[in-house]
Structure 1
Amino acid sequence: MKNNRRSFIKNLGIVGATAAVIPSSFAAEAKEVNLLNRAAKTSTNKILKIALIGAGGMGVADTNTALKHENIELVAVCDLYDGRLEDAKKRWGSSLFLTKDYKEVLNRSDIDAVIIGTPDFWHKKMSVDALNAGKHVYCEKPMVHSVEEGNDIIKAWKKSGKIYMVGSQGMSSLGNEKARELLAAGAIGTLNYAEGFWARNSALGAWQYPIPKDASTQTVDWEKYTSISKDMPFDPLRFFRWRNYLDYGTGMAGDLFVHLFSSLHFITNSYGPNKIAATGGLRHWDDGREVPDVLLGMFDYPDTKQHPAFNLSLRCNFVDGTSGSTFLKLVGSKGSMDIAWDSLTLKRNAGGGSDDPFLAEKAKENSGRPDRKKLVPPLETVYRAEDGYKGAHYDHFANFFMAIRENGSVAQDPAFGFRAAAPALLCNESYKKNEFINWDPEKMKLV
């Protein structure tokens, strides 16, 4: 009976598209679709004490979101720039423990979890050190700075028994959850192609973050910052605008492609592509940066038990004249889905027929009356989040804190995070070498 119900949902198609619900008799099947543990049943009585390592823009945003949850207390903040430590005190209170040495944070027994919001090149070392110190970890994406680092974090995570969440927060969105449900229900037929686009622009220039007037070796611990990279004279651009330089960041692919990979892999249950190619260039922001401002990626996804073979194209444009836009599209044999974090548009192919069992039954009843008009399912259905939706970022932390409190699991653990980061980082390799890169997404290694 279970297999029959599963088959019915698999072929449900337009029922999921028009009704926007799965009938209650199939509730058990629906549970298999939602991996985000969004339920509110968890106890929030236990106060979780957290620390922030890296108090730049994303670290601050993460911490502000984390503190919106009940019984979360910020205990410590670590950063290498004096100005950010002062800002932390003004923003979150003078009782904070402030330091420029992240190991002082890890040595504190009163801290349950750390948020790592540092430049990418510090992610692996800090993650492993935090796990070894018995801390739960929320690490900003990409999880690693190079594919060689991925298995080190996975090993440390498995050994630690702690919760590790990668911060591609859009993965926890309502839009992704609905897309996952509809794809499993057969709403767009057999997946054969996907594409994603991320664009940005600004008057100052993409990633050209402000440089504080007091930036110097007196206010920035430059020696500690570069202690695991190349030794070079103090350069405020490489500290405050680190995303532009490959010693510290991972370019457009590591910053933005990884979001699209995370969402796509969650929706499709995929481990990732096995062939990767990228092209692009510096088309506008020729300001000393080492990474392209336009990047195009092409990816082959193999036929697996999770999904059929399909192709993916990703684009990122920092020379965008539309002031920025983002989307992820999945295309199948019967239609397509345009997916955003708080909405989804399902489009059905005209003349493709309907999988709705009600309409099929009515067609049988009216078979003797060809002149009678029939109900026609919509070719386009739009889903939107209800007013008051707190957003994917909030839900991502909800998943993290629930897993800590209930000794559970998170949707974006290190294995998932590495499988999203690796093809993004390999785009940089393909671009640099001007060649295809072969990757084993299941074993997580270069071929």
Structure 2
Amino acid sequence: MTSKRKFNRRDFIQATSAATATGFFMGTSAVSRGQDSPNERPVFATIGLRNQGWTITSKSTKFADFAAFADLDETVLGENLAKLKERTGQTADGYADYRKVLDRDDIDAVMIAAPDHWHTKISVEAMLAGKDVYCEKPLTLTIDEGKLIEKVVKQTGRVFQVGTMQRTECDHRFLKAIALIRDGRIGEIRKVTCGINGATGSPVIPAIDVPKGLDWDTWLGPAPKVPYRALPEMREGYGGGVPLYTNCHYAWRNWYEYSGGQMNDWGAHHVDIATWALGADATGPNKVTPVSFSLPVDYKDGYPTVSDQYNSPTKFEIHANMPGDIPLVITSEGDNGILFEGTKGRFFVNRGKLTGKPVEDLETNPLPEGAVEAVYGGPVSENHTANWIAAMNSREQPISDVWSHNRMLETCHLANIAIRLGRELKWDPTKREIIGDDQANAFLSRESRKGFEISM
């Protein structure tokens, strides 16, 4: 299945020119070995192994062979190489530098589970190196990063799956929810509410010595250079053995420098399903309003005034005005999941349940045959990786493509910008820019730290 050709900067520019001149682009490899022999197992590598990195790897060993792992923490790298050996009997190579993975011609595709602030750089460089990509959600740290990824997917022809696995897994209840809406079971949608949980702030977290085996400077990568911070209390679960309060490990999700808090974490799941159900995954809102919110530290001009505490929102209620003037409410209150309300009824869905009268009515009035498959666009894959590999074989984009993901994630990014600035934002979904607010538009991109720019 290996596509050996790599895209360097000259190839990229030539392809861009050709695409502009002809109006389309044919990928770097129109036919791969996987298309010649659908039963051949692809060769994968995983970049970023802690927690979700191992989760997506372990789910994928049924369908693919893993030739390499990359992680900046030598302990995590060693532990996961051992787990792979125990699980599959395979021995993979381990690297601290992910670029050594991208240099290998025997690797068809990469699975990326590094922290969010690394997603765009690794993803773009992987595609330019001729690899298909699976990247964990949320895909980007900024809206402009999403535009860049879309551009490179189009220009390289790589197949790119985003890890919004609710589109495929969770007993397909989210697909059934959308099928209910499409079959008119709640009439016209009047309101959608996404409950995505609140968060907590942190105590003051002191700067301490970097743990042995962790390359902290490279972990920071494109983000600003800051000290490593942690308190002694340890976190249960999530791989264990990591500080509860830190600016690294699991807790990086609570810092805007590396992620987008709950808005981009759970929001990337539930806002995705809500946007899909609304038929708005090729557009987005025209206005985002921060009705209420709480930040754990003081802010000035959209930036935290201290650097030793978590800085993403702890509570919030955001209203996004979707096409048809349908309100999409994103809230930290209530049950985690999605409430759909229409002119004929309402129902609630999350990873554990699908409830409401329209759901109860299915006992006597089931959905038409093939309704769920119609939402999915064909036979439903057994898991997210299987869908990605099928797309790799067909050279078509998978169920969680970058375009629909980025459109959904723009709502989450805009919500965070609105919270940081404390005001409503008007959004042009065609130009993909904030209307009449230069300060807010400055948050659509970020400057990478010198030495960690994207290699084009």
TM-score by length of structure 1 reads 0.71
Partners of 2:202 and 2:357 lie apart in 1 by: 35
- Which among 396, 400, 405 is matched to residue 393 of structure 2? 405
Q: 1:169 aligns with which of 145, 165, 190?
A: 165
- Aligned match of 2:190: 192
Q: How far apart in 2 are the matches of 1:220 and 1:123?
A: 19
Q: Aligned partners of 1:337, 1:86: CA distance in 2, in Å?
A: 46
Cα distance in structure 1, aligned partners of 2:381 and 2:293: 30
- Give, in angstroms, the shift of residue 421 of structure 1: 1.2
Alignment partner of 1:105 is 2:101: yes
Matching residue of 1:26: none
Give the count of matched residue pairs. Answer: 349
Q: TM-score scaled by structure 2?
A: 0.70
Identity %, equivalent residues: 26
The separation in 2 between residues aligned to 1:337 and 1:167, in whole angstroms, is 25
Of 60, 68, 73, the match for 2:65: 73
Structure 1 stretches of at least 4 aligned residues deviating more than 6 Å after TM superposition = 205-208
CA change 1:187–1:123 in 2 (3 A) is same
Q: For 1:46 and 1:221, locate their aligned partners in 2 and report how far apart those are by CA, in whole Å.
A: 36
For 1:290, the aligned partner's letter is: N
The 1:267–1:89 alpha-carbon spacing in structure 2 relative to 1, beyond 3 Å, is same
Deviation at 1:404, TM superposition (A): 0.6
Give 5+ residue unaligned stretches, structure 1: 1-41, 209-213, 304-308, 357-375, 379-384, 386-391
Shift of 1:158: 0.4
Q: CA deviation at 1:184?
A: 1.6
- Label 1:43 to 1:193 Cα distance change in 2 as closer, same or farther (>3 A): farther
1:140-179 equivalences under 5 Å are 140-173=136-169, 174-179=172-177
Larger radius of gyration: 1
AA aligned to 1:424 is C
Deviations 1:144-196 (A, max 9, x none): 10112111100001011111111111122412221222212211111110111
Query: What is the alpha-carbon distance in structure 2 between the residues aligned to residue 235 and residue 377 of structure 1?
Result: 58
Structure 2 CA distance for aligned equivalents of residues 337 and 137 of structure 1: 35
Matched position secondary structure for 2:39:
coil
Q: In the alignment, is residue 313 of structure 1 matched against residue 329 of structure 2?
A: yes
Q: How does 1:79-98 map to 2 (within 5 A)?
A: 79-93=71-85, 95-98=91-94
Which of 410, 413, 421 does residue 425 from structure 1 map onto? 413
What is the SS of the residue equivalent to 2:357? strand
1:302 corresponds to which letter in structure 2? Answer: P
Other-structure match for 1:253: 263
How far is the alpha carbon of 1:92 from its aligned partner?
A: 0.6
What is the CA-CA distance between 1:206 and the residue it aligns to?
8.4
Code of the residue aligned with 2:158 in structure 1: it is K
What letter matches 1:232 in structure 2? V
Match of 1:272 in 2: 284
What is residue 377 of structure 2 aligned with on the other side?
A: none
CA 44–51 in structure 1, closer or farther in 2 if over 3 Å, else same: same
- Inter-partner Cα distance in structure 1 for 2:226 and 2:278: 44
Q: Which of these residues, 327, 330, 341, is aligned with residue 337 of structure 2?
A: 327
Matched, 1:243 2:256: no
Distance 1:217 1:99, change over 3 A: same
CA distance in 2, matches of 1:89, 1:417: 31
Contact 1:65/1:394 (8 A) holds in 2 = no
Cα separation, 1, equivalents of 2:217 and 2:293 = 34
Alpha-carbon shift at residue 377 of structure 1 (Å): 7.1
RMSD of equivalent CA atoms: 3.2
Partner of 1:297: 318
* Deviation of 1:74 (Å): 1.3
1:116 to 112, 125, 134: 112
Give secondary structure in 2 for the equivalent of 1:199: coil
Q: Do 1:77 and 1:99's aligned partners in 2 also have CA atoms closer than 8 Å?
A: yes
Q: Partners in 2 of 1:242 and 1:192 — Cα distance?
A: 36
Residue 428 of structure 1: CA displacement?
Answer: 1.2
- C-alpha spacing 1:442/1:191, structure 2 compared with 1 (3 Å): farther
Q: CA deviation at 1:283?
A: 7.0
